[in-house]
Amino acid sequence: MEAINIAKLIITKLKNSQKENDGLIEITSRLKLLKLLYYVQGYHLAKFGKPLFKENIEAWLHGPVVREVYNWLKPHDDFWLNEQILTDEEIVALGLNDTQNELIDDVLKIYNKYSAYGLRDKTHSEQPWLETYDPENQKKVINNELMASYFSGFWRDY
């Protein structure tokens, strides 16, 4: 599975939940989306023992980033981002099972309440980014095993 498709799924789920809850659409920022993608991957690794998407997550100055998603987002503004909604058919075509969909929903319920910079700051206090970040090498990959180990502690409590 590609991380861009999971990013689009996150946008779609956030839009749908906001419409259902209060009719207000909060603009999702690129920074926030990149952090939510990190948390979804972390919890998926903890619960299923395998990544949800194939791309690596790198430890950048402003937190964890999937480079391919960053490059996809870079030429566009946040308003464009909020138009990247999947159809029901596209969601089904992703092939996620009910447990995976529930996990993504649950992660979004926990972390969407934070602002983009709130999530940035949160990732800066967590083991995967802290142990990986190197200001001299912004291409360092956050190890999947490290993420799985870190998030498994939260998953057990969840």
Each residue of 66-76: pLDDT tens digit? 999 999 999 98
**Model-level pTM?**
0.92
Is the CA virtual torsion 115, 119, 120, 124 positive or negative?
positive
Contacts of 143 (CB under 8 A, 6+ apart): 128, 132
Percent above pLDDT 90 for the chain: 78
- In this predicted structure, what is the pLDDT of residue 20? 53
Residue 25 pLDDT greater than 50, yes or no: no
- In this predicted structure, what is the pLDDT of residue 155? 62
Residue 27 pLDDT greater than 70, yes or no: no
Backbone angles phi, psi at 142, to 5 degrees: -75, 120
- Tell me how far apart the terminal alpha carbons of the chain are, to the nearest angstrom: 25
pLDDT level of residue 138 (50, 70, 90 thresholds): confident
Backbone angles phi, psi at 63, to 5 degrees: 110, -170
* Calpha distance 114→74 (Å, rounded): 22
Helices (H) then strands (E): counts for the chain: 9, 2
